[in-house]
Amino acid sequence: MTGPTLCYIEEPWAWFSTRPPTEEWGDDWNDAPYESNAGRPYGRDASLTRVAYEHPAYQTPAGQPRGWTVEQINRCDVPWLEAPGLPPIWAGCQLGEFIALIEPTGGQVWRLEPPSAANRIAAEAP
């Protein structure tokens, strides 16, 4: 792993950890549905990066009838973000790759606080 990877999304925030997503943990990450139970990542023994994002098409699995846990999503049972006609964004996606998938398809990514031009991130090479 060469950079922080996606481990949790709570719109409009996405968290990236220096630990693999299956080794990162947060409160109630094994409870479904995650959107009603899970807390943010603990970041124990890891560095966390939080970015804000928006995209007109990408959706999280929140509200799906199945009710996923963060643990299942981070095992790649389902992507963190998906949209018709666009590549899915899975747990373990590196931050640069996340930006490269979001921005060219109509979205934006900001470091820490949305939406200020001063906080906007330029796409990084994956």
Q: What is the pLDDT of residues 53-108, one digit of tens each?
A: 999 999 999 988 889 999 999 999 999 999 999 999 999 999 999 999 999 999 99
Number of domains comprising the chain: 1
Residue 15, in any domain of the structure: yes
> Which residues are within 8 A (CB) of 36 and not within 5 positions of it... i.e. 6 or more apart?
none
Residue 21, in any domain of the structure: yes
Residue 68, in any domain of the structure: yes
Residue 125, in any domain of the structure: no
List the domain range (segments joined by +) for residue 72: 5-119
Query: What letter represents residue 104's amino acid?
Result: P
Return the pLDDT at 45: 80
Residue 97, in any domain of the structure: yes
Return the pLDDT at 113: 45
Q: What is the pLDDT of residues 3-48, one digit of tens each?
A: 899 999 999 999 999 999 999 999 999 999 999 999 999 988 878 9
Residue 124, in any domain of the structure: no
The CA-CA-CA angle for residues 5, 116, 124, to 5°, reads 35
Residue 31, in any domain of the structure: yes
Rounded CA-CA distance 68/125 in Å is 31
Residue 114, in any domain of the structure: yes
pLDDT tier at 118, thresholds 50, 70, 90: very low
Return the pLDDT at 54: 97
